[in-house]
Each structure stands twice: as structure tokens, then as C-alpha cells.
Structure 1
Amino acid sequence: MPHDPDLLIDPSRRRARGAVSNSSGRFEKLERSEIHDGWDIDEERGDFRTHLSFETAKTIITRNASPDLGFDRSINPYRGCEHGCVYCFARPTHAYAGYSPGLDFETRLIAKPNAAELLEKELRNRRYAVAPIAIGTNTDPYQPVEKSQRIMRDCLEVLRDFKHPVGIVTKGTLIERDLDILRGMASEGLVKVGISVTSLDVKVSRLMEPRAPTPDRRLRMIEKLASEGIPVRLMVSPVVPGLTDHEVERIIGAGAAAGAKAVSWTMLRLPLEVSELFQEWLATHFPDRKAKVMSLIREMHGGQDYSAEWGKRMRGEGTYAQMIAHRVAIAMRRTGLPKDLPPLRCDLFERPIVAGDQLSLF
């Protein structure tokens, strides 16, 4: 993709944001871009501030049949994510809402305030079959807006009351607010948490994940959760070829020292608009590394920026991908960390009795 500076947003208007542009999504009939029209007029343009809107969801449990995912159902309390991770594979989903996968994804957030109500309704359905629910696999449920909205906490309360197993993925330290719920669920084998650490380099992390907690703070979050008896998996995700790949062993060692009980990893994925956004970001912040990074990525995907083939999309294939996998395996053996946490319990599930229910005599 050619790097066109005219398509980039002024840095003063995108402070602490990941994407550097805000082009229209692939479903829009008109292409939106910000360029100077040639008139010598000073025009003040506003900053990209966080805007929250609400939608009344019709369902809340999303099903998938992907053979390379470890879950078949998930919940996403929010659309978009203020953490602003430039590499986020969920960015293209914002196009479905008519927004840009670029800066809109991290500034125009959509909350689902009726999520907990819908969750309870779906769990009460007699045809519902229990299996762990994943939360945070698309957008982070503990992004900053959760502090005021408390949608994730409401959902956790429902899952606790139904004794339903849940796996949470997050970078957000706000998860520590919910230790009172998580602690009890963990004691019954009903919860596990994945914390992703992409780089230990504060500068790289701040540019790549501008509003996510620092690497050191995430390690302390692992330590805190582990000390409360909550099983934590370190997620080296994603590994960015030519940029963070040299840190793999250090990240795994730091996670083990903090108390993680398992480790997983994925390679950088660049589906749809993410490829263009990531290349713009590289050209802006690491122009000297762009060619090397993209060359390694294409080497793993048959010359393409991305291949969605199941079984290969998460880690790529070829010599470089095999080398990273080998290094991770050695680091796991050295630290004694397995790839999986113990399975969650599904046998404790029960529907709480509510007013109007007929009590059993036995």
C-alpha cells in the first residue's frame, strides 16, 4: 500500500490514539478523507474525542463454529475500543455500524446497556446447553468506559448467580474492581482470565496500544489476580514480526514471574482494513522497519498481507513462523508454563429461582 501523507489526520488532533487515519469503511458508498482543498483559510478542526452511544441489542451471546478457536460462544458488551490498539483484528467490524475502522473504532464507541438482561433471558431458556462463555475476544470489556457503564460487571453478576463458566480476555486494570465476584467464581472453577502483553518496551507499547495500561501495570495485574486465586494465562498476542518478536522470551519470563499459570501466543493478523491502517502506522512511527515487517508477514501468508485460512491464520506458516513457535516452546519449557489452564466447570450451572417459579418438593 502506498503511503499517502494527505490521508493522515493531523497528529495534534489524534493525541493518544492508535490509528493515524479515518478512511471510510468498505461498505460506504462514498470515500471519506480529510485533505486540504487548496483554499488558504485556517480552519479549526476538533480533536478525536471519545463519544459513547447506545444500542438496544436483540441478542447478546454470539455463536461461532471456528475450529481454531477454543470457544463456541462469546459476549461483547461494547463495539469499538478506546485502548486504540492499532493491530486490533476487530477494527473491520466497525464498518458494519457505518463507522471507520480507523480513528472511529477507538473514539466512537457503542455500549449495550441491556446486555445483562438479555444474558439472563438466554440462560433461562430451557434449551440452553452450558459451555464456557468468552468475553473480551473482540473488544475489551474493561476498557475505560466500563468504569461508568458497569455493563461487564452486570454480566458477571448474572454469570455468578447462574454458576456459569466464563473466560475473560483483557488489558484493562479495571478488572481488579470485580475481584469480589471473580474470587468466588474462581474458588468454584468458574472463571479464568487471559492478560495480553505485546511488548515490554514502554515506547513501543504506548505507540501501538496508546490507551491501554503500560506493560509493567499489566504484569502487576497478573500478580494481583494470581494472588487472589484467579487462574491467569499470559497471552503474548500478537507477536509483531520485526518489531516485538525479539521480546518473546522476556515477556514469557516476566509473565511467569508475575504468577501466570499458562501461556499462549498468536502472530499479528492484518484482515481487511487493518492491513492499511497498520502500514500507515508503521510508515508514521517506524518507517525504517516497515519493509522488513511487511516482508515477514507476507512470507507467512503466501505473499499476501493476510490469509484467513483456518489453522494458519493465527500463526502463519513457513520458516519464520516455525522459528517463533520453536522459541515460544523453549521458553515455555524453561518457565514450566503449559499452554492451557485447567478446564472450567460446567456441572454447577443452575437457574436461580425467581418470583413465580414453581418450587420442587424434592
Structure 2
Amino acid sequence: MDASVPRLEIRNLTRRYDGRVVVDDLSFKVMAGQVTCLLGPSGCGKSTTLRLIAGVEMQDAGEIWVDGRLICDTVFRVPPERRQIGLMFQDFALFPHLSVADNVAFGLSGDRAAQSARVSELLERVGLGTYGTKYPHELSGGEQQRVALARALAPSPSIMLMDEPFSGLDNRLRDGIRDETLDILREQGTAVLLVTHEPEEAMRMADEIALMRGGRIVQMGAPYNIYNAPVDRECVAFFSDVNVIRGRVQGALTQTAFGQFFTPGVDDGREVEIVIRPQHVKIDFDRNGRGPNPTMAEGTPVRGTVVRARFMGNESLVEFRMDHDGSVMRATVPNVFLPSPGNALWLMMRRDKCFVFPVEEAEG
């Protein structure tokens, strides 16, 4: 197959329920060996998109292509069992009355010897070579997950659809099994489309993230780009807590209590939101020794009163009530820093880590 041809291509996919658009004109590609993550809150259309690709639901508009071949539009439809698509879900869906080997073999065609050889190969690959005669109830959650993976891989699918398959595992198991699973899929050149609502999981697993909201993809790209070049405030907030201050633009600058911010390309008089993550709010411990004119990069220190402080493991989260307007601002500090409520400290914003977004003007 031509390496430039996407393993999976979605063109203008749309799905409605009772007149409500759930999947809204989605288009994207997944190449062989690539992991793409559909990320977004519950109800944004992620799982519905997977069901449409799997063929268990029909779209109202759009096309689905596999290896350069049309497999489904609103007239033509390849049945699910002939799409060369594997499925992995949260509940594993193992057959309790079948042994591990029979679960993996379920759906395989060919003679018994070929099936047995394929099952043995896959169980060895997932570290369960001696578990063939066991039954699902005799396995741990992590072992059941590996059986589900072996079963999904058995027919050699070119595409794997995964709907939060690791969310049922405890944290100690999750990272290892998740990484092992993706290693196997990448080795086999399988295109992986993964659904999750957890940003950390998407950042860890995906080569590319499609951030969804209201049935649409609002931003798509590599994890680094999605995190560091968000298209709007909601995209920033999906990956972390945010602090937001507002101001009006005048001469490509916006004046705030924290000093002036460069806001080029925004019309004078337009209101903007300046968004910054807690880890980029700086506590000015040296303020008493500073000169009276801080630089543009440092901004103006603003005083706040500690409301609460919590130790989070690798860092401490401190919440402040700001003196100038009563708003709450959050800052994270490495290691242990737990000032008592009522303490006054001075905060600054790192100019190079702020995001500026024009506030949408109300229509009419």
C-alpha cells in the first residue's frame, strides 16, 4: 500500500439524533502506525464518531475511507465485520463462558491449527502464554485487558478503535498496560483512533489530538502545539486551571492591574481576555528589594491575600483573593509552599506564557 494514503480518512461526517447534531461535519485522517486521540468532555460526539466508523451506526452525511477505499457513505455500506477494524472498550466484553484461548480465537476464520497458532502467538506477545485454559473470572483487571487486546488484534485489523479502554484499571497498572498496548499496535502499523476525556492520557498517548466540542473539532495537532498554541480560552482550560483577567485594547496594548500587555492585531476598544496557567503566575518574594519601575516583561506586582494552600505532590497550589478587585487567582509553586490563610503576597504574570483572546461581541 502507498504510505501516503491514510489508513483511515473521515470526510464531512455528520450524525443527528432527533434533529440535534451530535457529530458535526468532521474531517480528519489517521496514517498507518499513528495514534490519534479524540479528546473532549462527555457528550461532545467522541464515542458516536467511533460507532459510525465501526459501522454499528449510520451517518446522516459524509464518507468513511479505509486504505484509500470507500467503505461507507449514505448509500453504500460495507458491513462492520468486513471493515478490517478492531474494537477495544472500557468493559473488555470478554465472554465469561469461554476460556482465554477461545476468547482470543472468537471471530477468527481458517482451520483449527492456524487459529491455534495465531492465538498462541498473541498470548505470548501480551505476556499471557500460559493463560490459555483460564477463564475471565480467574484473571485480574490488567490480565483481562491484555486478553481483550489479543482478541482485538487476532484478525490483524488495519485500524483499532479504542473507547476509554484503560479507564477501568487502577493507576498502578494503567500506564504500563497502556504503553505496551500502543507499542504493539505501532509495531504492526495499525492506525489507532482513541477516545478519552482525560487530557493527561491524550498527551501521553497521542501523536495527534483532535480536541472536540459540541460535535466539532475545534483544534487538531500534535500535543505540544495543542497545549502551547490553543485557539481559545476553552482549549487552554481543558488542559489545566486558568486565571483570566480582562481589559480593553488601546494602541495594541491592554492596561491591567498587572501592567500593560501587548495585544497586536486587536481593534482599539475591543475587550480581551488574558489567560495564564497557575504555573506561570510568579510569586514575587523579592518585592521589597525591587526598584519602583518593573520591566515590561515582568509586569507590575499585584497584592493578594492567601485563601488556602494545598500540597499536590510535586507542587503546591496557592489560591489568592486579589486586593484590587476581589477576584481569585491561583499559583502553583514547586515542592512544598504552604503559606497560612491571611498572608499577603505579591504576584506577577509571565508575559511570554500568557494567551490573549478577543472577547466575542454579543450579536444585535
What TM bracket, shorter-length normalisation? under 0.3
The structure with the largest helix share of the pair is: 1
After TM superposition, the score normalised by the length of structure 2 is: 0.24
After TM superposition, the score normalised by the length of structure 1 is: 0.24
Task: Name which structure has the greater RCO, CA cutoff 8 Å, separation 6+.
Answer: 1
Structure having the higher Rg: 2
